[in-house]
Chains A and B, each alone.
Chain A
Amino acid sequence: GAVVSQHPSWVICKSGTSVKIECRSLDFQATTMFWYRQFPKQSLMLMATSNEGSKATYEQGVEKDKFLINHASLTLSTLTVTSAHPEDSSFYICSASSGANEQFFGPGTRLTVL
């Protein structure tokens, strides 16, 4: 099946710093990538949808200036958490779709903001 990777798998940062998370589709071209956030013992909540070469569409309540998404190529999307605060600590998961039926999920990135 299709493989999606994320880097880093975990990151610890100080409050106020910015953190970049990469999501790559390794063996297919992803026309659309999705970013989700998952708090402990909760389900996945969609943050934004990005299509290659265009601006991301953010879900209601998600600050686009705080969570910067770039989908510059068909195999790479990045999520930058700017001026991170402890409440941004969460598990961030990306998924990728080639426009067919299914989304393929990455292994997730655990962000801890001190």
Chain B
Amino acid sequence: KQEVTQIPAALSVPEGENLVLNCSFTDSAIYNLQWFRQDPGKGLTSLLLIQSSQREQTSGRLNASLDKSSGRSTLYIAASQPGDSATYLCAVRTSGSRLTFGEGTQLTVNP
């Protein structure tokens, strides 16, 4: 059974700092890995999707890496802003279209 773990559970940083969120998964037989953002009481916003054959994806200040063999992914956020405050979820796609989510990292960026 696939298990996804995210570390840290919560993170508070001053504005402007670069930061890294971590995601690990137990079964390396994945199709892809996706990072989402969730604001309180809202649905999910997809940030980056990395195919199993890829090593990283970039979008603006966000960079996600994937090391499938070791079961790890990181989400790097450059020059953090208060508007980045949210919960960040990592999810891996295994058999079929099934997504398994991590517990999330709650990020607070202080002005």
A interface size (C-beta, 8 A) = 24
Contact B97 A103 (CB under 8 A): yes
**Which of B32, B34, B46 is packed against the most chain A CB atoms within 10 Å?**
B46
Contact B89 A93 (CB under 8 A): no
B interface size (C-beta, 8 A) = 22
Q: How far is the CA of A101 from the CA of B30 in the complex (A)?
A: 12
Q: How far is the CA of A6 from the CA of B43 in the complex (A)?
A: 10
For residue A107, which residues in chain B have a CB less than 8 angstroms away from its CB? Answer: 42-43
Contact A43 B44 (CB under 8 A): no
Q: Which of B62-70, B74-82, B100-108 contacts A (4 or more CB under 8 A)?
A: B100-108
Q: How far is the CA of A91 from the CA of B42 in the complex (A)?
A: 9
Contact A43 B104 (CB under 8 A): yes
Q: Mark B17-48, 1 if CB is under 8 A from A, else 0.
A: 00000000000000110101000011110100
Residue of A nearest to B103 (CB): A43
Residue of A nearest to B45 (CB): A105
Contact B41 A44 (CB under 8 A): no
Interface check A110, CB cutoff 8 A: yes
Q: How far is the CA of A107 from the CA of B46 in the complex (A)?
A: 12
Q: How far is the CA of A107 from the CA of B49 in the complex (A)?
A: 19
B residues at A contact (CB < 8 Å): 31-32, 34, 36, 41-44, 46, 49, 51, 89, 93, 96-104
Known: A43-B102, A107-B43. 15 other contacts (CB 8 A): A1-B46, A6-B43, A34-B99, A46-B98, A46-B100, A49-B96, A91-B41, A95-B99, A101-B51, A101-B93, A104-B46, A105-B44, A105-B46, A108-B41, A108-B42
